[in-house]
């Protein structure tokens, strides 16, 4: 089971690297370089790039959904049951992810309804990148924050040493980084 969790995590992080990195490359390298082309060459180049990027974006969204829901249902839910802060931040992360999926689909798609977004692609791609960076920041916080279980919810004084073997119930306690916890 652990190998599936590792593969799912690698898939999720690897997809983020490719899709977010590709978006940054498009916004800050390809778009400024293509802007110097004559209009007919620019439009042809843009369509060639979008036809390829559209496929990667679609596959990326699919991989994010599969690995994300697996990570949520199998890994995160059991480990963070009853943890309100974790659940709230994960909810925010999921909502932001769906906004990113929408923007990525609208920017790479062909629907006439979203042509105004594509006409201002530099702005909306930057918004998408900033939202993705926010998702990464939330993910980093959720992955590295310290949660300990104890009989009551309280912050442990930083100067004390606490033995986890004596803490028995299931309410989360958030420790300050300077707390010395002995296992």
The span from the CA of 25 to the CA of 141, in Å, is: 25
Our count of domains for the chain comes to 2
114 and 71 within one domain: yes
pLDDT reported for residue 174: 52
Q: Are residues 164 and 79 in the same domain?
A: no
Q: How high is the pLDDT of residue 153?
A: 47
22 and 67 fall within a common domain: yes
Determine the length of the chain. 183
Q: Are 137 and 151 in the same domain?
A: no
* Residues 113 and 131 both lie in one domain: yes
Together in a domain, 39 and 103: yes
Pair 124, 150 in one domain: no
pLDDT value for 60: 96
- pLDDT for the residue 167: 47
Q: Other CB atoms closer than 10 Å to residue 181's CB: what's the count? A: 14
Closest residue by Cα to residue 72 from 170, 148, 146, 139: 139
Confidence (pLDDT) at 152: 40
Task: Report residues of the chain scoring pLDDT below 70.
Answer: 146-183
Residues 97 and 70 in one domain: yes
Residues 82 and 126 in one domain: yes
pLDDT of residue 176: 46
Residue span of the structural domain in which 178 resides:
146-183
User: For residues 93 and 89, what is the distance between their CA atoms, to the nearest angstrom?
Assistant: 6
Same domain, 164 and 97: no
Q: pLDDT for 64-110, tens place per residue? A: 999 999 999 998 888 888 899 999 999 999 999 999 999 999 999 99
| Three-state DSSP class for residue 170 | coil
Same domain, 85 and 129: yes
Q: Are residues 31 and 49 in the same domain?
A: yes
């Amino acid at each position: 089971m652990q190998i599936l969790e590792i593969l799912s995590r690698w898939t999720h992080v690897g997809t983020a690297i490719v899709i977010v990195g590709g978006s940054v490359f498009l916004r800050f390298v390809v778009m400024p370089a293509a802007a110097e082309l004559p209009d007919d060459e620019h439009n042809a180049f843009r369509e060639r790039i979008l036809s390829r990027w559209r496929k990667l974006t679609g596959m990326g969204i699919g991989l994010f959904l599969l690995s994300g829901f697996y990570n949520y249902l199998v890994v995160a839910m059991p480990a963070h049951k009853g943890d309100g802060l974790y659940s709230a931040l994960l909810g925010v992360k999921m909502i932001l992810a769906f906004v990113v999926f929408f923007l990525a689909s609208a920017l790479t798609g062909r629907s006439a309804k979203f042509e105004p977004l594509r006409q201002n692609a530099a702005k909306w791609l930057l918004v998408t990148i900033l939202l993705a960076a926010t998702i990464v920041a939330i993910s980093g916080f959720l992955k590295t924050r310290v949660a300990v279980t104890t009989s009551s919810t309280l912050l442990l004084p930083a100067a004390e040493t606490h033995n986890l073997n004596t803490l028995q119930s299931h309410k989360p306690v958030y420790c300050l980084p300077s707390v010395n916890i002995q296992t």
